[in-house]
Amino acid sequence: MEPYPQVFIVDSQASIAPLPSRKHRRWGGICQRLLPLLVGLALLGLVVQSGCIYYLYKSTEALHGTPLPHPDGSVLSRSGSKEANEIPTWVRTHPPERQQKASAHLLGSNTVYEDVVHWDSGPVGEAYTQGMDYKDGYLEVKEKGYYYVYSKVHFKECSLIKHKVKKLPRGYNASQDLMTWFSWSGVKNKQNFDQLCNSFLGGVFQLFTGDALFVTVSNGSFLKFGRTDNYMGAFMIQ
């Protein structure tokens, strides 16, 4: 009888199964820990992208209803129905012309009547009236507001001279002094010529519709007449 084989037989030709590497186990654990973080970052990116798209949509929607200014002063406005999904078109509208404020500049003439200086209202030279009326030395206000009022006169002598800018309110017979200049000295120069004196008055006043402005001098014979030597004016500030 053949002998039975031994229970344990060692096969020297069989390959030995390798044991798992510690390095591979370590990288696998790191990847498992990073995977949730990467997924969270991807979700956060989607949220941010959605927010940007929503903001861009709202900005475009608001732009469709907002007029766009143009360098020449015109305005571009959107036309077309948004509900009908029509392609928007832009229509240019020009702003209304700015209304010029009331103003006047009167030049000196050769007339002083009862101390009231009469002026040349133009349209010759630089004299003009705009939004105001002038007649017989009186400049009438047509619109309520604050005005800068001014006057300049040129005298051949400086003795006993008065220069005033006055206002005659509408419906009143008595005038009011707005500005006043006095000169009481009569000084001669070495050439025995009369001393030339200039007076300039200017200030801001609230005026009402129907008020009249005028200029008086105490002695019209001392006034040096000339279109550029004497003038009066006013212009509206607000």
Contact 88, 79 (CB under 8 A): yes
Per-residue pLDDT tens over the stretch 128-137:
999 999 999 9
CA 199 to chain centre: 35
Per-residue pLDDT tens over the stretch 183-225:
876 555 545 445 578 899 999 999 999 999 999 998 888 888 8
Q: Is the pLDDT of residue 86 over 80?
A: no
Contact 211, 169 (CB under 8 A): yes
* H/E element, 172: none
* d(C-alpha 225, C-alpha 110), whole Å: 6
Q: Is the pLDDT of residue 226 over 60?
A: yes
Give the single-character DSSP code of 9. Answer: -
The pTM for the full model equals 0.57
31 or 213, higher pLDDT: 213
What pLDDT, on a 0 to 100 scale, did the predictor assign at position 214? 97
Per-residue pLDDT tens over the stretch 34-45:
778 888 888 888
Q: Mean pLDDT throughout 3-29?
A: 58
* d(C-alpha 180, C-alpha 196), whole Å: 18
CA 9 to chain centre: 106
Nearest to 165 by CA among 154, 153, 157, 183: 153
